[in-house]
Amino acid sequence: MNNPLSWESSAGASALRDHRILQLSIMKFLLISFILVGSAIAYLVAPRPHAAATLVARLVMGLVIFEYATLLGLLAILRRGHSKLHWIFLGTVICDTLVTSALVHVTGGAYSPYTILFMVGIISSAMAMPAFWAGSITFLSILSYAAVSIAGKTGWLPSLPGAGIVPDQLSASVLAARLSLNISAMAAVSALSILLARHLSRAEQANVRKDRQIQLLFNRHQDILRSLNDGICCVSREGMVLDVNPAFRTLMGANIEVGMTMENLSPELAGWVTHKPTSLRTRLNHGSQVLELEVSVQDLMVQEQTSGSIVVIRNRSEVSRLERDLAQQEKLAAIGRLTASIAHEIRNPLTSIAGSLELLRPSMTSQEPENRELFDIVFREIRRLNDLISELRVYTSQKKPRVENLDLVEFLQETVMLCEADPKNAGTRFDLELPGTCAIQFDPGGLRQVLLNLIINAVQAAPGTWVRISLVSNTVEVQVDVEDPGPGIPLDMQEKIFEPFVSTKNSGTGLGLAVAGHILMAHGGRLTLARSDASGTVMRLIIPASTTET
């Protein structure tokens, strides 16, 4: 239960109370200023000034000055956020009541036209104070009014010379009737004001709660919009942007602001809003990337009325890439199963042929040089077929890799040293762009095979030039780029280069990149073609970052 003596102490209630106090102070100031103007006019038109009129004018002027000073003081206190503003206001109301009592006495007591000023204090206290203090001000006003009226009638308070109405000349019955009427009015106004103030306070607090809930919902709505990966834009019926989230700005341009028109922003966007496609696939150039977008437009309904449109843009680039990768993996898996069975069938007779030829080798030493050369060619081709079958076995292998903790920076430096020592790579410059350290978990043999394959391909693409190897990493993944300045991979071959038996070189088996991709996939990574054009090619290895230090 609320204490009737206590003031509302919550932040919202205190702010409402202080605001109400300021409004009531302004109202009192305006009302008393109006009375001052009336009194001044009456004083000017009087045939001759007398002591009572002069005193009344001074009292009214003093009351106005007091109210003006009080208003300025309350404004200054409110600006500083003083916590005792309500007590100061209570003191000013008490002072108003005492000054009003003096003014009532010198202007006729119970018949004074300034009796209405008691109502100002009563209403002000009821609107801004707890019921106890409002009742106390009402009691003080009634007591002061009755005291000055009775004291004037009995002569305890002397009347001023020249007063229009002299309290001691009133009959007791007239005085009693006047007192009863005004006191009843004061009590009724007080009770009604307290009741209305209570309802007003409840309504204001309810509005504050609703405003807080609305603000909370608005903030939550904004947080949801900001956290969505899908771009969302609300457009009015006139084509004006009402709201837009950061994802939409990122996808369509950071210069989108609320209030812009869709036509000025993007004719393509305006066309989407007009035709309202339920699902539209499109491509958008976004810097150096081409984004695959899915666009849908729905009506924005407000109270069952169409007030605009909601444009939703979903970036499907990553999803499409995953779908392509999955389809590619399924295709490669089918090819792998086929090649595994073929390799098995080929290796057995090939082993028999190689063994038989080894048995015939001693008898070939006496043959002509031409026959021996043909015999060497046969052995060389058998070895090449064996190497091809070995690569196929690696490609189709389901064996779990032997993962070790590696420092990728050190591993890359060692691999480049091996390549620099190879005479086939003479004249090629190897540039390394590496951080201080980078931990990964990988099978060393498999990683060496992948790196050597990519570096050899880069050297063969642009012999005698350079190969750049760069590494960047974050907490999620590690990227290794192998770049060469060669002529690039033909466009029609770029989507097929990771398939087995596909090669851009006449002498290639077409298994190098397929095997490299298979090894990376077994470690949770992938091999991608980051760029390939007339300026060169960039092959990218993506490896999961290690959770442990090497």
Tell me the CATH number at 239: 3.30.450.20
Distances (CA, A) of 446 to 297, 348, 420: 49, 26, 20
Please state the separation of Cα 229 from the chain's center in Å: 11
Q: Give the pLDDT of residue 392.
A: 67
Mind spelling out the 3-state secondary structure of 465-505? CEEEEEEEECCCEEEEEEEECCCCCCHHHCCCCCCCCCCCC
Alpha-carbon distance of 517 to 539, in angstroms, equals 11
- Which residue(s) pair with 418 in the sheet? none
Has residue 239 been placed in a domain?
yes
Tell me, what CATH number does 508's domain have?
3.30.565.10
Q: Which of 128, 130, 141, 239 is nearest to 184 (CA)?
A: 141
Q: What is the DSSP string of 9-20?
A: -SHHHHHHHHHH
Asked whether residue 202 falls in the same domain as residue 307, the answer is no
Amino acid (1-letter code) at residue 266: S
Alpha-carbon distance of 115 to 409, in angstroms, equals 95
Alpha-carbon distance of 312 to 295, in angstroms, equals 6
Asked whether residue 186 falls in the same domain as residue 44, the answer is yes
Q: Give the pLDDT of residue 78.
A: 58
Q: Give the pLDDT of residue 367.
A: 58
Tokens 């005193």 label which residue? 55
Asked whether residue 186 falls in the same domain as residue 270, the answer is no
Per-residue DSSP letter, 442: E
Report the number of secondary-structure helices (H) and strands (E) in the chain: 14, 12
Alpha-carbon distance of 169 to 51, in angstroms, equals 19
Has residue 197 been placed in a domain?
yes
Asked whether residue 346 falls in the same domain as residue 367, the answer is yes
Please say whether the beta carbons of 282 and 295 come within 8 A. Answer: yes
Single residue among 145, 179, 211 that ends a domain in this structure: 211
On the CB side of 142, CA atoms within 13 Å amount to 18
**289-302 sheet: strands from edge to edge:** 241-244, 231-236, 305-315, 289-302, 280-286
Asked whether the whole model's pTM tops 0.75, one would answer: no
- Which residue(s) pair with 538 in the sheet? 483, 531
Radius of gyration of the chain (CA): 48
Q: Give the pLDDT of residue 368.
A: 61
Asked whether residue 513 falls in the same domain as residue 448, the answer is yes
Has residue 384 been placed in a domain?
yes
Instruction: Note down the domain range covering 499.
Output: 404-544
Distances (CA, A) of 464 to 96, 135, 333, 375, 426: 101, 102, 37, 35, 7
Q: Give the pLDDT of residue 55.
A: 60
Return phi, psi of residue 427, to 5°: 90, -10
Amino acid (1-letter code) at residue 408: L
Q: What is the DSSP string of 118-158?
A: HHHHHHHHHHHS-HHHHHHHHHHHHHHHHHHHHHHHHTSSP
Has residue 217 been placed in a domain?
no
Asked whether residue 67 falls in the same domain as residue 203, the answer is yes
Asked whether residue 32 falls in the same domain as residue 162, the answer is yes
Has residue 4 been placed in a domain?
no
Contacts 24+ apart (CB under 8 A), 81-88: 85/18, 85/21, 86/7, 86/17, 86/18, 86/21, 86/128, 86/129
Tell me, what CATH number does 327's domain have?
1.10.287
Residues near 519 by Cβ (< 8 Å), separated by ≥ 6?
394, 401, 443, 446, 447, 449, 450
Tokens 């001052």 label which residue? 36
Apex 407 CA angle, 405 and 410, nearest 5: 145
First to last CA, the chain: 66
Has residue 549 been placed in a domain?
no
Residues near 172 by Cβ (< 8 Å), separated by ≥ 6?
153
Q: Which of 195, 184, 225, 73 is nearest to 134 (CA)?
A: 195
Asked whether residue 238 falls in the same domain as residue 185, the answer is no
Residues near 39 by Cβ (< 8 Å), separated by ≥ 6?
56, 57, 60
Alpha helices in 397-468 (DSSP H): 408-421, 444-461
Asked whether residue 408 falls in the same domain as residue 392, the answer is no
Asked whether residue 311 falls in the same domain as residue 341, the answer is no
Q: What is the pLDDT tens value at each position of the chain, 550 positions in all?
A: 445 555 555 545 566 666 676 677 677 777 766 766 666 666 556 554 555 555 655 666 666 676 667 666 666 665 665 556 667 777 778 877 887 887 787 777 777 777 888 888 888 888 777 878 888 888 998 998 888 888 877 767 766 554 445 555 667 777 788 888 888 988 898 888 888 888 877 887 788 889 889 999 888 888 888 888 888 888 888 878 888 888 888 777 657 778 887 777 777 777 777 767 666 666 666 555 667 777 788 887 777 777 788 888 888 777 777 777 777 667 666 766 776 677 667 777 777 777 777 776 666 655 566 666 777 777 777 777 777 777 666 666 666 778 899 999 999 999 999 999 888 888 899 999 998 889 999 989 889 989 999 999 999 989 999 999 999 988 889 999 999 999 988 888 887 888 777 777 766 667 788 888 888 888 889 898 988 888 899 999 999 987 665 4
Q: Give the pLDDT of residue 95.
A: 79
Apex 267 CA angle, 287 and 294, nearest 5: 60
Has residue 507 been placed in a domain?
yes
Single residue among 315, 336, 354 that ends a domain in this structure: 315
- Which residue(s) pair with 299 in the sheet? 309
Asked whether residue 186 falls in the same domain as residue 233, the answer is no
Count of domains forming the chain: 4
Asked whether residue 390 falls in the same domain as residue 419, the answer is no
Q: Give the pLDDT of residue 108.
A: 72
Single residue among 211, 238, 260 that ends a domain in this structure: 211
- Which residue(s) pair with 440 in the sheet? 406
Has residue 362 been placed in a domain?
yes
On the CB side of 403, CA atoms within 13 Å amount to 15
Per-residue DSSP letter, 376: H
